[in-house]
C-alpha cells in the first residue's frame, strides 16, 4: 500500500463496509447555465434508472455535485460576464431558457475575462460555497423538473465540495506518477498516462484555472478506492477524456488498497439529435425542446405515473445508448400511451420477485443495465411488469 496516499486520506483506505457490494455512480455533471435538453434528459434518466435499479442489489452512492464544477472557467467566466454586462438583475424571475440565451451570447464572444477577473469568484466558491444567482435559479428550476419526473435528487441545491483541495489532488496524481506539473516554469498541469499509451491532457492552464477533469480528480480520487465498482456515465464526445479517467481511478484504487482496485466501467451515451443535428447546448438551438417545455406539453393534465414511465421508455428503451434517430414528439407520445397500458395491465405486487428481475440485467457487473431492463418492459409475449418493479425503478 502507498503510505503517502493513505496518510493523507485515511478514509479512502478504510475497509469496505460488510454486506453487499458497493457501487459508486458518477455521471457527468451538467453545468447550471442553460436549460436541460433532450440529450441531458437522456443521460439523467439513464442514471436515475441505473441508480434505483442497482440499489435493489447493491449499496449504491450517487455522486453528482454541481459545487465541484463551479470552479471551471466556463462557469466562472459566465458569472463574471453576467455581472459585468447585465448587472443587478432579479434572476428569480427569469426562466432557464432566458438564462440559457445569455450563456449562448457569452460563449459566442471571442474575448473572455482573464484569470485575475475570475479569481474572486473562485475564492468565493472555495471559501464560502457561493453560487451566482443565475446558477442558483437554474438549479432551482432543475429541482422542480426532477420532482415532476420522479428522479432521485442527488443534491442539486446542496453544498457538496470535493474532498481534496486543488493542490492535494495534484500531489496525489504526482505520487501515482500520473501528473506532469510544469507550473514552476510558467506552464500548465497535465494528466500523464503516457505509460498506458494515452496522450497528455491539460487539466490546469498556465494561469492556474482548472478544467472539468481537474475538478473531477478532486472529487473522485478520494472516493473511488472505497468501492467495488465505479460507473462513469458520459457523452461519446468525451470518450477520450473518460478513458483517461478510467485509467487514473484504477491506478489510484490499486495504490490505496494495495492491489484490490475497484472495477471502473464507462457507460457511453450519444447525444440526441434535433432535426437531424447534434449541437451542444452552449450553441443554442434548443427552443421548443427544453425539459420544461416538454414537461408542460406532455404532462399537463395527465397522469404523473404515465409521464414518468413514458419518458423513461422513450429516452432509454426507444432511443437507446446510440444515435439512431432525432427526437420525435410523435414517438414520445406513443411511449406515453404504452406506459399507460403497462400501468393499467400491471400484475399483482410480488416484492420477492423484484430482485430476481433486476439481477437478470446485470450481466458481469454490479450495476443494472438501464437499457436491458427498460427494453424488457416492451418485449412482446411477456407478462406486464409488476407494480412493485415500476414503483421501485420508474415511478
- Rounded to a whole number, what is the largest CA-CA distance in the chain? 69
Instruction: Give the whole-angstrom CA distance, residue 187 versus residue 292.
Output: 43
Q: Domain extents for the chain?
A: 3-269, 288-393
Is the predicted pLDDT of residue 16 greater than 70, yes or no? no
Residue 93 CB burial class (10 angstroms; 0-12, 13-18, ≥19):
exposed
Lowest mean pLDDT among 183-187, 243-247, 375-379: 375-379
Calculate mean pLDDT across residues 168-189.
95
Return the ∠ at Cα 291 (arms to 289 and 294), rounded to 5°.
Answer: 65
Is the predicted pLDDT of residue 8 greater than 60, yes or no? no
Q: Are 332 and 298 in contact (CB under 8 A)?
A: yes
Residue 326: the pLDDT is 87
Cell numbers 409475449: residue: 381
Instruction: Convert the pLDDT of each residue in 270-298 to its tens digit.
Output: 999 888 777 766 666 778 889 999 998 88
Calculate mean pLDDT across residues 178-199.
95
Instruction: Give the whole-angstrom CA distance, residue 195 versus residue 199.
Output: 9
Output the nine-digit C-alpha cell for 205: 492552464
Q: Is 320 left (phi over 0), alpha (psi -120 to 50) or beta?
A: left
Could you give the C-alpha distances from 18 to 15, 227, 257, in angstroms and in order? Answer: 8, 12, 16
Is the predicted pLDDT of residue 214 greater than 60, yes or no? yes
Residue 277 is classified by DSSP as B
**Which pTM was predicted?**
0.91
15 or 119, which is more confident?
119
Residue 313: the pLDDT is 96
Residue 179: the pLDDT is 95
CA 90 to chain centre: 28
CATH code given to domain 3-269: 3.40.50.620
Output the nine-digit C-alpha cell for 361: 440485467
Q: How confident is the model at residue 17 (pLDDT cuts 50, 70, 90)?
A: very low
Q: How confident is the model at residue 356 (pLDDT cuts 50, 70, 90)?
A: confident
Buried/exposed code over 266-301 (b: 16+ C-beta within 10 A; e: otherwise): ebbbbbbbbeeebeebbebebeebbbbebbeebbee
Instruction: Give the whole-angstrom CA distance, residue 249 versus residue 225.
Output: 8
Residue 385: the pLDDT is 82
Instruction: Give the whole-angstrom CA distance, residue 138 versus residue 381.
Output: 44
End-to-end CA gap in the chain = 44
Calculate mean pLDDT across residues 49-63.
95
Q: Are 72 and 210 in contact (CB under 8 A)?
A: yes
Calculate mean pLDDT across residues 172-186.
95
Output the nine-digit C-alpha cell for 35: 436549460
The DSSP element (H or E) to which 93 belongs, if any, is none
Could you give the C-alpha distances from 378 to 67, 366, 373, in angstroms and in order? Answer: 38, 24, 10
Residue 282: the pLDDT is 66
Residue 86 CB burial class (10 angstroms; 0-12, 13-18, ≥19):
exposed
Instruction: Convert the pLDDT of each residue in 317-326 to its tens digit.
Output: 999 998 778 8
Instruction: Give the whole-angstrom CA distance, residue 114 versus residue 116.
Output: 6
Residue 347: the pLDDT is 63
Neighbour count for residue 65 (Cβ, 10 Å): 19
Output the nine-digit C-alpha cell for 316: 432509454
Calculate mean pLDDT across residues 295-302.
78
Q: What percent of the chain has pLDDT over 90?
A: 71
352 or 249, which is more confident?
249
335 or 363, which is more confident?
335
Instruction: Give the whole-angstrom CA distance, residue 234 versus residue 241.
Output: 10
Residues 6+ apart with CB under 8 A from 72: 31, 210, 211, 212, 215
Calculate mean pLDDT across residues 340-354.
75
Instruction: Convert the pLDDT of each residue in 74-118 to its tens digit.
Output: 999 999 999 999 888 899 999 999 999 999 999 888 888 889 999
Residue 126 CB burial class (10 angstroms; 0-12, 13-18, ≥19):
middle
Output the nine-digit C-alpha cell for 91: 434572476
Residue 298: the pLDDT is 84
Is the predicted pLDDT of residue 13 greater than 80, yes or no? no
Amino acid at each position: 500500500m502507498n503510505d503517502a496516499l493513505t496518510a493523507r486520506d485515511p478514509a479512502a483506505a478504510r475497509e469496505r463496509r460488510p454486506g453487499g457490494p458497493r457501487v459508486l455512480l458518477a455521471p457527468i455533471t451538467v453545468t447550471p447555465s442553460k436549460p436541460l435538453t433532450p440529450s441531458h434528459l437522456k443521460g439523467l434518466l439513464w442514471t436515475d434508472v441505473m441508480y434505483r435499479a442497482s440499489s435493489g442489489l447493491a449499496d449504491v452512492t450517487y455522486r453528482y455535485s454541481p459545487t465541484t464544477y463551479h470552479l471551471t472557467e466556463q462557469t466562472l467566466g459566465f458569472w463574471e460576464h453576467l455581472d459585468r454586462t447585465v448587472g443587478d438583475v432579479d434572476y428569480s424571475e427569469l426562466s432557464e431558457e432566458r438564462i440559457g440565451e445569455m450563456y449562448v451570447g457569452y460563449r459566442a464572444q471571442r474575448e473572455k475575462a482573464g484569470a485575475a477577473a475570475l479569481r474572486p469568484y473562485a475564492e468565493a466558491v472555495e471559501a464560502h460555497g457561493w453560487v451566482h444567482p443565475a446558477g442558483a435559479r437554474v438549479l432551482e428550476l432543475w429541482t422542480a423538473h426532477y420532482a415532476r419526473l420522479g428522479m432521485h435528487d442527488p443534491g442539486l441545491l446542496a453544498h457538496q465540495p470535493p474532498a481534496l483541495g486543488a493542490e492535494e489532488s495534484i500531489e496525489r496524481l504526482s505520487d501515482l506518477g500520473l501528473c506532469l506539473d510544469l507550473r514552476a516554469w510558467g506552464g500548465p498541469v497535465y494528466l500523464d498516462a503516457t505509460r498506458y499509451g494515452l496522450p497528455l491532457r491539460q487539466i490546469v492552464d498556465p494561469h492556474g484555472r482548472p478544467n472539468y477533469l481537474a475538478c473531477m480528480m478532486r472529487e473522485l480520487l478520494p472516493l473511488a478506492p472505497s468501492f467495488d465498482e465505479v460507473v462513469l456515465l458520459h457523452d461519446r464526445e468525451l470518450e477520450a477524456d473518460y478513458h483517461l479517467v478510467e485509467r487514473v481511478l484504477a491506478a489510484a484504487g490499486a495504490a490505496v488498497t494495495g492491489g484490490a482496485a475497484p472495477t471502473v466501467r464507462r457507460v457511453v451515451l450519444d447525444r440526441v439529435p434535433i432535426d437531424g443535428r447534434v449541437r451542444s447546448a452552449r450553441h443554442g438551438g434548443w427552443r421548443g425542446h427544453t425539459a420544461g417545455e416538454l414537461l408542460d406539453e406532455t404532462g399537463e393534465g395527465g397522469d404523473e405515473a404515465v409521464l414518468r414511465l413514458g419518458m423513461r421508455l422513450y429516452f432509454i428503451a426507444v432511443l437507446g445508448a446510440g444515435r439512431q434517430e432525432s427526437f420525435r414528439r410523435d414517438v414520445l407520445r406513443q411511449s406515453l400511451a404504452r406506459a399507460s397500458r403497462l400501468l393499467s395491465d400491471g400484475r399483482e405486487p410480488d416484492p420477492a420477485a423484484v430482485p430476481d428481475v433486476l439481477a437478470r440485467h446485470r450481466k458481469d457487473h454490479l450495476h443494472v443495465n438501464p437499457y436491458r431492463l427498460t427494453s424488457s418492459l416492451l418485449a412482446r409475449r411477456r407478462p406486464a411488469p409488476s407494480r412493485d418493479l415500476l414503483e421501485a425503478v420508474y415511478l
